[in-house]
Amino acid sequence: MKRILLASHGKLALGLKDTLELFIGKSDLIVAVGAYVDSTSHYIEEIQKFIDSADDDGAIIFTDIYGGSVNQQVTRMVLAAGKKIPIVTSMNLPIVLSVALSEEEMTSAAIEQLSRDCIPKVVTLQKEEEGDMDAFFE
């Protein structure tokens, strides 16, 4: 499995890791960092530790908001380290779970495809015949 860093404002990353581990089990390969949870900047040290120990082809970083302060900080730190670790923003459970379970290399093309597959979808509400859930899965 790939090494994964989840970084967010507040406790979103921590909650996402907790939910992710319901599906895949506990893993030391997944690190969750919540920024601005308290008045310290301890989260920056945790991000740096992940980046320093990560291989370009064996790690991926997820952040919550494109262009947000966490995303900007992570991007600056990866660039400063001279690494080519992929950074994916607007993280959600489906894409993180897909990456965690995927055995293929996370190339730009693979990440782009997963991103398209894991975008939010609006559920169309319509009354179905009792017991008919086939339409839900179309």
Q: Please give the chain's pLDDT, 138 residues, in tens.
A: 689 999 999 999 999 999 999 999 999 999 999 999 988 889 999 999 999 999 877 899 999 999 999 999 999 999 999 999 999 999 999 999 999 998 888 888 888 888 888 888 888 887 766 666 665 565
Amino acid code (one letter) for 125: L
DSSP-based three-state secondary structure for 65: coil
d(CA 107, CA 7): 20
User: Which secondary structure element, helix H or strand E, spans residue 103, and what is its range?
Assistant: none
Which residue type does 14 have? L
